[in-house]
Amino acid sequence: MSNKYIVRQPIKDKENKIVGYEILYHGENQAFSQGEKNQADTNDFAAADTIYNFLTMNTDKVLRGSLNFMTFTITLLMKKTPKLFDKSDLVIQIDDSVLIHPLAMHFIQQYAKEGYKIAVNDFQFAPRYLAVLDNIDYIKLNFHTLNENALKNVIAIAHSMDKQCVAIGIDDEKLYSLAVKLDVDAMEGTYMAEKLTIKTHNSGYLQSNFFRLMVAVTQDDADIDEIEQIISVDATLTYGLLKMANSCYFAPHMKVTSIRQAIMAMGLSELRQWVYLLSASNAENQMEEGAEEFLKLSFMRATFCHKLMNYAKDIPISKQDAYLMGMFSTLNYLIDAPLEEILSQIPMVKQVYEALVHQTGRCGLLYQLTISYERADWGKIDVLAEELDVPTNLLTSIYFNCMEEVDQTWQEIMEPGKREESPSPSNETVQEEAQS
């Protein structure tokens, strides 16, 4: 029996803004197209039960405040699984295996009538696709399997019928350029997940989070835990603080390698001055489009690495170092310089540096597992998890718990007026780091 994983990946428009997320599932349903029909049906039902049970328990974590594209088998449609979600948050995707089912049209028409958006994966101008054309809103086009002329024709006809086209498999700059040239409405793939349309400036911190930091450091009874928590969700603030704390100005006797150490080494007076200087030097420097998403991505990687440390065996670094490893993994996108050059300017555990720059050692395996899961690289996930002795049956729940924690913290940052009085999961993460 294969392992079961669920991952969320961004879908972006041509301006690099996120328009939704693809919910990718890997498990028994990989056998849908293999073997005899009865065996395929058995696999379909088994997979449907697994997915249904997971989604029933994790609806709020999987779909939260955004448009989500999820592929449904005929069994999942029959089980009324889409009704677990608000129709304004969900796009029902269907594959060819659904279209050839005799009951397919009935379910597609029913859900479309109820107001759900419908998408078709790997659209083709074949009779079975044309039969559902009136009911679909999105056409998903695989840029790996169709040539440029075929793509151009499909997109032109789709747009003439008011259908939106989503390019999938955009994994390099060449495919991205082709998708832009052909005027698709949105794109997804590993290249899109790591792309900035505009080169970022050298201190792209999150403005709303920086404002929270300014408020926190100016309090008469400044809370060190709160200051640490605010800085810990922002890769560039973390990097800048560590760089300052280790500068010749402070001349520390021991190298400072954590946020709390940096705060204590500088002291509140010097910390306030550092924050004021940042405020003055960047008063007119707003966050470029897309950089905010990279800050959120770095926070997600940091949290995932930190949580995986509870299971991974023989990792020669602390949970705190693992957190920084994930946090600093996007710095080369946020700061216009090679990652080796950026990391060389702050003291860092050698194993973390080697993991980020060369992806070597046990720490490199941990970092690779984090990235592989993020990219839905199913084959690598199994191999890396086995090498690290991480239970594969826990990976999906760990991932979605991290995603929920990051989403909740991000909402608090963006809408501070809605912050809950109870401690957020991110505060717990920082407290764990301080104790590790």
The DSSP code sequence of 287-340 is: PPTTHHHHHHHHHHHHHHHHHHTTT-SS--S-HHHHHHHHHGGGHHHHSSS-HH
Cα distance between residue 216 and residue 230, in whole Å: 9
Task: Provide the pLDDT for residue 420.
Answer: 43
* Encoded amino acid at 54, one letter: F
Predicted model pTM: 0.75
CB 169 within 8 A of CB 190: no
Q: Which amino acid is at 271?
A: L
Q: How confident is the model at residue 28 (pLDDT cuts 50, 70, 90)?
A: very low
> What pLDDT is recorded for position 52?
64
Provide the strand spans (E) within 172-321.
186-187
Tell me the one-letter amino acid at 433. Answer: E
Do residues 4 and 29 make contact, with C-beta atoms less than 8 angstroms apart?
no
pLDDT at 348: 87
How far apart, in whole angstroms, are the C-alpha atoms of residue 119 and residue 165? 9
pLDDT of 391 over the 70 cut: yes
- In Å, how far are 314, 348, 366 from 371, measured between CA atoms? 19, 20, 9
**Which residues are CB-contacts of 195 (< 8 A; sequence separation ≥ 6)?**
12, 16, 176, 290
Measured in residues, the chain has a length of 436
Report how far residue 297's alpha carbon sits from residue 175's, in angstroms, rounded to the nearest whole number. Answer: 23
What is the per-residue pLDDT for 247? 77
Mean pLDDT of 404-412: 84
pLDDT of 338 reads: 84
Backbone torsion region of residue 314, taken as left when φ is above 0, otherwise alpha when ψ lies between -120 and 50, otherwise beta: left
Q: Which of 42-56, 98-112, 258-272, 415-429 bottoms out in mean pLDDT, i.e. has the lowest? A: 415-429
Higher pLDDT, 51 or 348: 348
Is the pLDDT at 424 greater than 60? The verdict is: no
Q: What percent of the chain has pLDDT over 90?
A: 35
Cα–Cα distance for residue pair 49/79, rounded to 1 Å: 9
Residues 6+ apart with CB under 8 A from 426: 229, 232, 233, 303, 405, 406, 408, 409
Range with lowest mean pLDDT among 38-47, 172-181, 338-347, 419-428: 419-428
Would you state the pLDDT for residue 225?
Answer: 93
CB 231 within 8 A of CB 237: yes
pLDDT digits (tens, 9 = 90+) for 198-233: 444 444 566 677 778 888 887 888 899 999 999 998
Residue 8 pLDDT more than 50? yes
pLDDT tens-place string over residues 366-389: 999 999 999 989 889 999 999 999
**Which residue did the predictor score with more confidence, 177 or 1?**
177
Which pLDDT belongs to residue 9? Answer: 86
Residue 179 pLDDT more than 70?
yes
The arithmetic mean of pLDDT across residues 319-341, rounded, is: 86
pLDDT digits (tens, 9 = 90+) for 279-322: 655 544 445 555 677 788 889 999 999 999 999 999 999 998 99
Residue 116, pLDDT score: 94
User: What secondary structure does DSSP assign to 22-89, as a single string?
Assistant: EEEEESGGGGTTSS-HHHHHHHHHHHHHHHHHHHHHHHHHHSSSS-EEEE--HHHHHTTGGGGS-TTT
Question: Where residue 31 falls among pLDDT bands split at 50, 70, 90?
Answer: very low
Task: State how far the Cα of 399 lies from the Cα of 25, in Å rounded to an integer.
Answer: 13
Report the b/e string of 149-187 with b at 16+ CB within 10 A.
eebeebbeebeeeebbbbbbbbbeeebbebbeebebbbb
Q: Answer whether residue 184 shows pLDDT above 90.
A: yes
More confident call, 152 vs 249: 152
Model pLDDT, residue 58? 61
Average pLDDT of the residues in 98-107:
86
Q: Which of 8-12, 132-136, 168-172, 277-281 comes out lowest in average pLDDT?
A: 277-281
Q: Residue 148's pLDDT is what?
A: 92
pLDDT band, residue 145 (cuts 50/70/90): confident
Kindly indicate the confidence band of residue 431, based on its pLDDT and cuts at 50, 70 and 90. Answer: very low
The beta-strand segments (E) located in 390-435 are: none
Pairwise CA distance, residues 116 & 107, whole Å? 11
- The stretch 130-152 carries a mean pLDDT of 89
